[in-house]
Structure 1
Amino acid sequence: MATRLSIFPLPGAILFPGLHLPLHVFEPRYRAMVSDALARDRRIAMIQPHTAEPDAPLYAVGCVGKIDEVEAMDDGRFNIVLQGESRFRVMRELDVDTPFRQVEAELIEDDEFASLSSVERAGFEQEARRFADLQGYSVDWDSVSSLDDRSLIDGVSQIAPFDSAAKQALLESPTLGARCELLIQLMQFFGRSDPDEERVTLQ
């Protein structure tokens, strides 16, 4: 079913269902959006624009988040933490009078019980260890091993040091298995670069 969403088109900001995204909100139109969300259902839809221009075209898929924490400042700014609830696909942008943009969208029903095979999980963890070593990251692998498949794959998808196009591709992956496979490919691709050289990019 179609639903109406207030959108926050922020380049480079990716949110996945079940995960958290901290945001500092200072632009007047987005302060108005947060105030509106707090007065209604506390929901804001994160989506990436193709460019940083104010009315830039949007990518097709984003994620609805619910304001889990909020700090209202005296000057009107907000610090908020969104908790991802559901991916969505934009159907059309609406003609509205609000300072913030709104879309008509359909929510994407992900399989909350999806899991990886033991071979997929082992292959991912092996590639993740190699990538972390190449990049010089310190990782608590015992904690990683204790995560369920969705928390692991979506968590890495959200925080990995990939460019915006790569993270958008991860968000648009239709299944957990497809996202895992793409993550492995991205770690192999980005892991080829020398950290002291200019970063490689998919864009």
Structure 2
Amino acid sequence: MIKPADLPDKLPLFPLPGALLLPRARLPLHIFEPRYLQMLEDALKTPGRLIGMVQPRTLPPGVEADRAAPLQRRLNAIGCAGRVTAMSETEDGRYMITLTGVSRFRLVSEVEGFTPYLRARVDWEGFGRDLGRVEADPGFDRAGFLGLLRRYFDNEQLATDWESLKDAEDELLLNSLSMLLPFEPEEKQALLEAPDLGQRRETLVTLIEFALRSGGEGEETLQ
């Protein structure tokens, strides 16, 4: 396990809209751009094999990102570092990798240099629980939540293995849904920034209920 003292003060960044990584969760990624192939190669040379996942800020329609702007104006302030825990190479030189979430971080400043990818100084303060044990959610009404989720899946024409959802641990269930459900990038960011599992579940419920109301369902809500 990675300890707080093992966390570096600089990270390579992989900005990817809509890609959410959470502590102890796994995110599969397809790496093919030359700059990110270089990033992967460099990350594998470090003891932690860490890559920082972060979402670009959502801009108004027609507005293009200013590459000269400060990092915090281009990217969301909070991301999540993942450790490369699996990797396979395709015949044409691309990589399929798996990142396992380690801890969230806050961007401090961009690191200037000659790498083709972004690097940033980061601050880990305030995310100590990310390195701890698997979280539980004492206020979790699983039956009510799964009922709401079933309505959402029906509305979105999604399928799943309901038996596995019934048996999954609180954190695995809530974090997996947060990562996999088709929410907007800013909604994914809200799930990432939730301070603990209980508040992430409340945010997830709010997003699901909003999607159902937008899809024509009534005003019934899950408390």
> Shorter-normalised TM-score: what interval?
0.7 to 0.9
> Residue 121 in 1 paired to residue 142 in 2?
yes
Where do residues 21-36 of structure 1 align in structure 2 (5 Å cutoff)?
Answer: 21-36=27-42
Where do residues 1-203 of structure 1 align in structure 2 (5 Å cutoff)?
Answer: 3-41=9-47, 42-50=49-57, 53=65, 55=67, 57-73=74-90, 75-107=92-124, 108-110=127-129, 112-117=133-138, 119-194=140-215
Amino acid of the structure 2 residue aligned with 1:106: D
C-alpha distance in 1, partners of 2:140/2:80? 29
**1:173-192, Cα deviation, whole Å (9 max, x unpaired):** 11111110011110011123
C-alpha distance in 1, partners of 2:89/2:128? 33
Amino acid of the structure 2 residue aligned with 1:44: I
Unaligned runs of 5+ in 2: 59-63, 68-72, 217-223
Q: What's the secondary structure of 1:79's corresponding residue?
A: strand
Q: What's the secondary structure of 1:192's corresponding residue?
A: helix
User: Would you say the 8 A contact 1:60–1:90 is kept in 2?
Assistant: yes
Deviant stretches of 4+, over 6 Å:
none
C-alpha distance in 2, partners of 1:190/1:64? 29
Using the aligned pairs only, state the percent identity: 39
Aligned residues: 195
Higher mean displacement: 183-192 or 87-96: 87-96
When the two chains are superposed, the root-mean-square deviation of aligned CA atoms in Å is: 2.3
Aligned-pair CA distance for 1:59: 0.3
Q: What's the secondary structure of 2:9's corresponding residue?
A: strand
User: Would you say the 8 A contact 1:31–1:76 is kept in 2?
Assistant: no
Q: What's the secondary structure of 2:22's corresponding residue?
A: coil
Unaligned runs of 5+ in 1: 196-203
User: Would you say the 8 A contact 1:124–1:180 is kept in 2?
Assistant: no
C-alpha distance in 2, partners of 1:140/1:21? 19
Aligned-pair CA distance for 1:97: 2.2
Change (3 A) 1:152 1:189: same
C-alpha distance in 2, partners of 1:113/1:71? 28
C-alpha distance in 1, partners of 2:128/2:16? 23
